[in-house]
Structure 1
Amino acid sequence: MKAVRFSRFGGPEVLELVELPDPHPGPGQVRIAVRAAGLNPSDWKKREGLMDQELPQTMGHEAAGVVDEVGAGVTDAAVGDRVFGFTAEEAAQAESAVLAHYAPIPAVLGFAAAAALPAAVETATRALDTLGVAAGHTLLVNGASGNVGGAAVQLAVARGARVIGTAGAANHDYLRALGAEPVAYGAGLAGRVRALVPGGVDRALDVAGSGVLPELIGLAGGAEHVVTVADFAGAQEHGVTFSRGDTGRALHVLSEIGPLIESGRFAVPDVRTYPLAEVAAAHRAGEAGGVRGKLVLVVG
């Protein structure tokens, strides 16, 4: 099978499409013929040598496709099923991939849209679970217009929370469409939030990593009511929880997101696609910034 791999660290030019042996699923796993695989900022960090140090490395941990082989003990999927989820190893950007955690693709979604979901909805749900966001809470999401922020807004609204989201003025209508009350980020943020909720918020989630943890702590009434997924150093400095996947993942959302989508309570982000062979161009677009929605590689 063809797969994306790099054998040295560097810019997008180090990415190659190489032939690798076909993978096979272990117990409880399924193999898919990949139709689409998501791209994430962690991909460029890996490629630059800022994460794992071994070489060579394959890429990608979220994909959607058609099951073509099932492992021992699998009873919830069969050959021919459309599924999406997380790979057993980081090798989703390939013609075939083994999924360790998966769910049926909602009937209303194509493969590219499904591949845009796993990382964003898992990260958002993990943070909301850590915060204990529930009906009646007021949640502030810093960086609400991106993929993870937009997912957090919608999932919190689905839980019955009131959501206030920070974003640039150009994205305020978008946040309203997701169910949030928008406020501008930058100097004076705390005052703008208190104009909406004079007593402050119940919980705060930092997705942007823009150095506002002290303001979020003040608005939420303590560091124990704040989670960041983007500011590790700030979390250590201010006693805030930094949510990361290796401390427990919210995999339950894979089976929960479908009904929310089909009922119209969750809107999938816009998707910008590139052929698998143009993975370097996709990396360049992602690193340049300014792309609304999710970058996805399509196969076949």
Structure 2
Amino acid sequence: MSRRVTYSQLGGPEVLTISEVTEPHAGEGEVRVRVKCAGINPFDAKVFSGAPTASPQSVEFPSGNGNDFAGVVDEVGAGVDQWAVGDEVLGGKGFSGQADFVVVPAAKLVRKPADLSWEQAGGLDIAGRTAWASVEAVALTEADTVLVSAAAGGVGVIAAQLAKLKGAKVIGSASASNHEFLRSLGIHPVAYGEGMVERILEISPEGVTAALDNNGRETVDAALALGAPADRINTIADYAAVSEYGTSGVGAAGATPADLASLAALVAAGTVEVPIDSVFPLEQVSEAYAKLLEGHSRGKIVLTL
């Protein structure tokens, strides 16, 4: 038997439980990973609470939980020749990541660089692929000034740094407690809330040319007011803006395992920083999501197994 986070009704973090389940095994073309770290994401909480998501999720009870994971290959299915028992890997699988074992198609895994911590690797899949795809969606260059909201959060902190690597001037909205941290990354911090447009104009009198919204309508409206064309605003937090304003809404699905591997290499090299806000044992999964839902986390919250 093995452990798996499950839930059998919709609700808050309290619906999450640790269940004993039969160990899964790798089939043809698949690999089984013994998980060492698993990430948590706002998307997970939207699904188990029944909140709307960009692509409506059909949940069958009991449901597994979580997507991101990192661990060690411990079983290889027939026809798999790119992985061997003992390989250190990372990846994601919907409704499955928070478990002792995850079985995934071999092509979906990414090799974990030796210098990438287990905690960073375990929380990288959704946030990393989302950040990568959102930056690519707005085609940033050295001529751009881009607004990144929730710039200290799991997706935002990666997206802001990737935008900076494109040569763009990056303005990041965040709570005041994270401003010095953003400055250390070369990002211009700004407080969100009333008066944000005026505060951004103090940093960039010419406005902005693009935006990466990880927070909601406030960011989209601010970016439009500051001169960004709608088609150079990518949102993962305001799905209605895609149809109402013509913004893009590219998320994790817009990035490939090869993109994730490229990002993992950047993090391992120290070129992109992925801060770990806090680490919880699997048994405290409900507490981990409660902290996530409080907001103002710096980087990722992960579970250890």
What TM-score does the superposition give when structure 2 sets the normalisation length?
0.88
CA distance, structure 1, for counterparts of residue 101 and residue 145 of structure 2: 43
Match of residue 169 from structure 2 = 162
CA distance, structure 1, for counterparts of residue 180 and residue 282 of structure 2: 33
C-alpha contact 1:214 1:238 (8 A) present in aligned 2 = no
Q: Trace 1:284-295 onto structure 2 (pairs within 5 A).
A: 284-295=290-301
How far did 1:2 drift?
1.3
CA distance, structure 1, for counterparts of residue 303 and residue 31 of structure 2: 20
The alignment of Structure 1 onto Structure 2 pairs a total of residues equal to: 297
How far did 1:36 drift?
0.9
CA distance, structure 2, for counterparts of residue 27 and residue 126 of structure 1: 30
Match of residue 231 from structure 1 = 238
C-alpha contact 2:68 2:125 (8 A) present in aligned 1 = yes
**Deviation digits for residues 99-148 of structure 1 (CA, Å, limit 9, x no counterpart):** 34222222123322211211111111111111112344322112211111
Q: Trace 1:24-35 onto structure 2 (pairs within 5 A).
A: 24-35=25-36
Match of residue 222 from structure 1 = 229
Q: Trace 1:5-20 onto structure 2 (pairs within 5 A).
A: 5-20=6-21
In the alignment, residue 274 of structure 1 is paired with which amino acid?
F
Q: Trace 1:198-213 onto structure 2 (pairs within 5 A).
A: 198-213=205-220
**Deviation digits for residues 147-176 of structure 1 (CA, Å, limit 9, x no counterpart):** 111000111122222211122222111111
Match of residue 182 from structure 1 = 189
In the alignment, residue 55 of structure 1 is paired with which amino acid?
F
Match of residue 287 from structure 2 = 281
In the alignment, residue 282 of structure 2 is paired with which amino acid?
L
Q: Trace 1:55-94 onto structure 2 (pairs within 5 A).
A: 55-87=61-93, 89-94=94-99
C-alpha contact 2:276 2:298 (8 A) present in aligned 1 = yes
Query: Is 2:198 the partner of 1:191?
Result: yes
Question: Given the superposition, is the C-alpha separation of residues 139 and 28 from structure 1 closer, same or farther in structure 2, using an over 3 Å criterion?
Answer: farther
Structure 1 residue ranges without an equivalent (≥5)? none
Question: Given the superposition, is the C-alpha separation of residues 164 and 289 from structure 1 closer, same or farther in structure 2, using an over 3 Å criterion?
Answer: closer
Match of residue 96 from structure 1 = 101
Question: Given the superposition, is the C-alpha separation of residues 221 and 210 from structure 1 closer, same or farther in structure 2, using an over 3 Å criterion?
Answer: closer
In the alignment, residue 90 of structure 1 is paired with which amino acid?
F
How far did 1:220 drift?
4.0
Structure 2 residue ranges without an equivalent (≥5)? 52-56
- State the identity as a percent: 39
How far did 1:217 drift?
1.8
C-alpha contact 1:83 1:104 (8 A) present in aligned 2 = yes
CA distance, structure 2, for counterparts of residue 72 and residue 219 of structure 1: 55
Q: Trace 1:122-137 onto structure 2 (pairs within 5 A).
A: 122-137=129-144
Instruction: Give 3-state SS (helix, strand or coil) of 1:25's partner.
Output: coil
**Deviation digits for residues 171-192 of structure 1 (CA, Å, limit 9, x no counterpart):** 1111112221122222332333
C-alpha contact 1:102 1:254 (8 A) present in aligned 2 = no
Question: Given the superposition, is the C-alpha separation of residues 271 and 79 from structure 1 closer, same or farther in structure 2, using an over 3 Å criterion?
Answer: farther
Structure 1 vs Structure 2 CA RMSD? 2.1
Question: Given the superposition, is the C-alpha separation of residues 136 and 264 from structure 1 closer, same or farther in structure 2, using an over 3 Å criterion?
Answer: farther
CA distance, structure 2, for counterparts of residue 210 and residue 69 of structure 1: 45
Match of residue 106 from structure 1 = 113
Instruction: Give 3-state SS (helix, strand or coil) of 1:173's partner.
Output: helix
How far did 1:28 drift?
4.5
Instruction: Give 3-state SS (helix, strand or coil) of 1:241's partner.
Output: coil
CA distance, structure 2, for counterparts of residue 264 and residue 285 of structure 1: 27
CA distance, structure 2, for counterparts of residue 66 and residue 165 of structure 1: 36
What TM-score does the superposition give when structure 1 sets the normalisation length?
0.90
In the alignment, residue 21 of structure 1 is paired with which amino acid?
T
Match of residue 271 from structure 2 = 265
